[in-house]
Amino acid sequence: MPDINNIHRSLSRLKVSAKKLSLNTSKDKWIIFSDHHRGVGDGADDFAICKTIYVNALDYYLENNYGLILLGDVEEFWENTLKSVISKYRDVLELEKQFYLKDKLIKIWGNHDDAWNHIDKVKTHLFPFFIDIATYEAVNFEWNNRNTNGSILLVHGHQGSGASDKFASISRWFVRVIWRNFQRIFKFSLSTPAVTKELKDKHDIAMHTWAKGLDKQLVVCGHTHQPLFMSKNHLIF
């Protein structure tokens, strides 16, 4: 069950510690993707059927001078080793590299790819594509133009939840040892933080109420695998 207080505390912590970047709302263009869950191309790989669409989309955004924000769970390391995923999707990484060469790539890690929180793993597996890349738990875009100001917190969104944050090591073992085999055989999709829409809705509402309680604060996150603008839910904790 999502704990709204834990989620709010985590977001408040991240707002302070996040990488601060300025945003020019009149000319900056960014596209945000999250929750690719790239695997190794087998039946448990949620990204495999989306690869062609994703590559075509990146070609478009690259041509039209967008920046690319990868908002966590891009790679699926709960089910697979880092080396196997990187090897499978080298061509996709090479395409994302084109944004990095233009200084227009931001990589934020989530719970399923939190290996990117460890510099040794980043150096070994990401530096060959993105030399000296920095990876973040959160980024805070701040703007002050046209007589307006505010901030946008970019974060994967798992922070503060039980299975995906505090007990992630247990969840990771379950996914790799047990769930992955069921998913590969029966083509089940791995959806976090829970398989029920009610729990996902409550998690989304917790994110929304945190931002709503602050002045001129937006939050952009992934994690629950469902689209939501502001709060279309009316559940009460």
Instruction: Decide if 85 is inside a domain.
Output: yes
Instruction: Decide if 102 is inside a domain.
Output: yes
Q: Which residue has the higher pLDDT, 114 or 144?
A: 114
pLDDT digits (tens, 9 = 90+) for 61-86: 999 999 999 999 999 999 999 999 99
The count of structural domains within the chain is 1
Q: Which residue has the higher pLDDT, 200 or 152?
A: 152
> Any alpha helices (H) in the chain, and if so which ranges?
4-17, 51-63, 82-88, 90-101, 119-125, 168-174, 180-186, 197-212
Cα gap 57→217, rounded to integer Å? 29
Instruction: Decide if 157 is inside a domain.
Output: yes
- What local confidence, expressed as pLDDT, does residue 226 receive? 74
Nearest to 159 by CA among 195, 210, 214, 103: 210
- What local confidence, expressed as pLDDT, does residue 191 receive? 45
- Which structural domain, as residue segments, surrounds residue 114? 4-220
Structure-token pair, residue 161: 């939840």
Residues 74 and 83: beta-carbon distance below 8 Å: no
Nearest to 76 by CA among 33, 32, 122, 109: 109
pLDDT digits (tens, 9 = 90+) for 148-178: 889 999 999 988 765 444 544 544 444 444 4
Answer whether residue 179 shows pLDDT above 50: no
Instruction: Decide if 65 is inside a domain.
Output: yes
Which pTM value belongs to this model?
0.82
**C-beta neighbour count of 236 within 10 angstroms:** 6
Residues 182 and 219: beta-carbon distance below 8 Å: no
Interval 86-105 mean pLDDT = 98
Answer whether residue 22 shows pLDDT above 90: yes
Instruction: Decide if 234 is inside a domain.
Output: no
pLDDT band at 20 (very low <50, low <70, confident <90, very high): very high
Cα gap 87→82, rounded to integer Å? 9
Q: Which residue has the higher pLDDT, 11 or 235?
A: 11
- What local confidence, expressed as pLDDT, does residue 75 receive? 97
Interval 124-141 mean pLDDT = 98
Interval 188-213 mean pLDDT = 70
Instruction: Decide if 181 is inside a domain.
Output: yes
Phi, psi of 182 (to 5 degrees): -65, -40
Q: Which residue has the higher pLDDT, 21 or 6?
A: 21
- What local confidence, expressed as pLDDT, does residue 167 receive? 46
- What local confidence, expressed as pLDDT, does residue 173 receive? 42
Residues 125 and 117: beta-carbon distance below 8 Å: no
Instruction: Decide if 44 is inside a domain.
Output: yes
Residue % of the chain over a pLDDT of 70: 78
